[in-house]
Structure 1
Amino acid sequence: MAPPLLSSLLLALGLGTSLTFSSSHWLLAWMGLEINTLAILPLMVSTHQSRGTEASVKYLLIQATGAAIILWGSMLNAQATGHWNIINEKEDMAMLVIITGLALKLGIAPVHAWFPEILQGTNMTTSMILATWQKMAPFILMCEVAPSYQWLTLTLGLCSIVIGGLAGINMVHMRKIIAYSSIAHFGWMMLVMSSNIHLALIALIIYSLATVVIFSTLNNSSSSTIQNLTFSWAKYPALMALFPLILLSLGGLPPLSGFLPKWLIIQELTKQGLILVIFIAAISALLSLFFYIRVVYTITAITAPNFFGYAPSKFFRSNFKTSSLSIPSVMALMLLPLLPALWAFFSL
């Protein structure tokens, strides 16, 4: 794709997200979501492959359905309350319709089946955008409507954590593994969204950091399956040495950064006395950790790196792509000591 066109599409993505972030009007927020959808479609078909075209058509249909549901809920709310403002009084039935549309756009359970298939049909860079940036706008809108419907957010969160953990166990394609991981992580965010939005934002930031590093590593090493990763040691040994730690951080293993949001969310739910919810979420998180450990075991223990025949200078060669991952990798692994500073920043 030509750089001017690519820059225009990326600017459109930023415009759509910014419009949704800054809007207090349901119609403007809906327009921001639609701009995001239309801007990502050319990136999905830029590979000129049949799977990319199929994924773009599926994505268009799903996002159009979600947008229609959100617009319908907004109209019901305007009819019942007489205004289109997001922050003013809300009508219960209309908000339930809007939450359904936002859940469809976020790809959380039980309306999640489209997300892994679409990620599998696109390239790594587009998959990274779909798993991180494209979820921010509907996530912010969900934060606006979730506080009044805790029972619904808890139900959606638990369904997402359980389904994300169970469905990802037997996956061998990395994009599908990350897709089910995304479903489980957004389930954790949904658990705490109605009671503490700051914790949900911290979880979103740490998840996005780790996911960007994982997709970038897969893109640099040209690895789409677990088996492909076992042959990437000779190309990028330093980067592949950090890759298992990033996976374990995404799984929430202490003392890595991914442990931070799960720890804080469990503390918040404990204060509310939701012991059964904590138990189900913690057990389901072990399922997600299991398929992360399976990937780590496969790429580190099954096929050892073969360094013979290569000059030592080629082992640790770097370029702009690998060097640019240094700061995100450190942040995805070592943010736990900065917990007080993060909490103070988001509590301002």
Structure 2
Amino acid sequence: GQWDITQLTNPTSSAILTAALAMKLGLAPFHFWFPEVLQGSPLLTGLLLSTAMKFPPITLLFMTSPSLNPTLLVTMALLSTALGGWMGLNQTQTRKILAYSSISHLGWMAIITSYSPKLALLNFYLYALMTAAVFLSLNLTKTLKLSTLMTSWTKAPALNAMLMLTLLSLAGLPPLTGFLPKWLIIQELTKQEMAPAATLISLLSLLGLFFYLRLAY
């Protein structure tokens, strides 16, 4: 016999694979390790954890998308976007805010994986680029807390202006780059007759917008 990870037919093995990838990515409800690890790491290590370390599981998610459990993925995606937005609201440490931002973004990638894996991959590439820009900017200004970020405007106004635009792009505000993948995901979900899920994930993203605005201003 032969066992192919990209074409699983057994619902149990499909659910286990979905949960395993969710744990590696830090999708809710397996997200608890990620904010704590990011908080205890230097900014450059945090950058690697938020981008490069997520590339292998995202690739696996892309390759195994036909085998994954769509209902489980959509549930975890909505939970991630809700928790990422909600938990990020009362944080004062920039690394923790970016950890919850990552969890929230993973929700968008997970919700579309079963229906359009290429769109999930596009979303990941754009997220990785924008997150890298944010981490590198924070590393240059040595900003670890929100209070420090408020005072860094006087030291490096050009860098902070770029950081503000990148954060608003991560939040998905039009006409910035981050709006495009979210718009395409909403369109695809509506085509798949999943308008309620599209509406819910869009509303949950407003929670994230609030803490991006806190970082940006």
Q: Which TM-score band (shorter chain)?
A: over 0.9
SS of the residue corresponding to residue 2 of structure 2 reads: coil
Q: CA deviation at 1:89?
A: 4.5
User: d(CA) in 2 for partners of 1:89 and 1:116?
Assistant: 32
1:92, 1:255 → 2: CA distance?
41
Residue 99 of structure 1 contacts residue 145 of structure 1 at CA under 8 Å; is this kept in 2?
Answer: no
Shift in CA distance, 90/246, structure 1 to aligned 2, threshold 3 Å: same
* Structure-2 residue corresponding to 1:313: none
Task: Tell me, in whole angstroms, the C-alpha distance in 2 between the residues paired with 1:124 and 1:174.
Answer: 10
> Where does residue 256 of structure 1 map in the other structure?
176
For 2:209 and 2:155, the matched residues in 1 are separated by 27
Which of the residues 109, 113, 119 maps onto 1:193?
113
Percent identity of equivalent pairs = 45
Q: What's the RMSD between the two structures over aligned residues? A: 1.3
Match of 2:29 in 1: 110
User: For 1:106 and 1:87, how far apart are their aligned partners in 2?
Assistant: 18
- 8 Å CA contact 1:95–1:145 kept in 2: the answer is no
What are the within-5 Å matches in structure 2 for residues 163-182 of structure 1? 163-182=83-102
Code of the aligned partner of 1:135 = K
CA distance in 2, matches of 1:89, 1:165: 33
Alignment of 1:232-311 (within 5 A): 232-297=152-217
Q: Point out the more displaced range, 265-274 or 148-157.
A: 148-157
**Is the 1:146–1:153 Cα contact (8 Å) retained in structure 2?**
no
Distance 1:100 1:273 in 2: 25
Distance in structure 2 (CA, Å) of the matches to 1:83 and 1:241: 55
Q: SS at 1:240's partner residue?
A: helix
Could you tell me the TM-score, scaled by structure 2's length? 0.95
Tell me the CA shift for residue 85 of structure 1: 3.0
Q: Which has the larger radius of gyration?
A: 1
Higher relative contact order (CA 8 A, sep 6+): 2
Instruction: Tell me the CA shift for residue 249 of structure 1.
Output: 0.3
Task: Report the counterpart of residue 101 of structure 1 in structure 2.
Answer: 20
Q: Are the structure 2 counterparts of residues 89 and 162 from structure 1 closer, same or farther at C-alpha, using a change threshold of 3 Å?
A: closer
SS in structure 1 of the partner of residue 180 of structure 2: helix
2:26 corresponds to 1:125: no
- Give structure 1 stretches of 5+ with no counterpart: 1-81, 298-348
* Cα distance in 2 for residues equivalent to 1:87 and 1:233: 49
Q: How far apart are the structure 2 equivalents of 1:97 and 1:276?
A: 26
- Letter in structure 1 aligned against 2:119: L
Tell me the distance in 1 between the aligned counterparts of 2:8 and 2:197.
29
- Give the structure-1-normalised TM-score: 0.60
* 1:323-338 alignment runs, 5 A limit: none
Cα offset for 1:141? 1.1
Deviations 1:40-95 (A, max 9, x none): xxxxxxxxxxxxxxxxxxxxxxxxxxxxxxxxxxxxxxxxxx32433344432112
TM-superposed CA distance for 1:161, in Å, is 0.6
Distance in 2, matches of 1:167 and 1:259, equals: 22
**8 Å CA contact 1:161, 1:184 repeated in 2:** yes
Match of 2:64 in 1: 145
Q: Name 2:4's counterpart in structure 1.
A: 85
Deviating beyond 4 angstroms after TM superposition, the runs of 4 or more aligned structure 1 residues are none
Tell me how many residue pairs correspond in the alignment: 216
SS of the aligned residue for 2:154 comes to coil
In structure 2, relative to structure 1, the CA distance for the partners of 1:147 and 1:270 (3 Å cut) is same
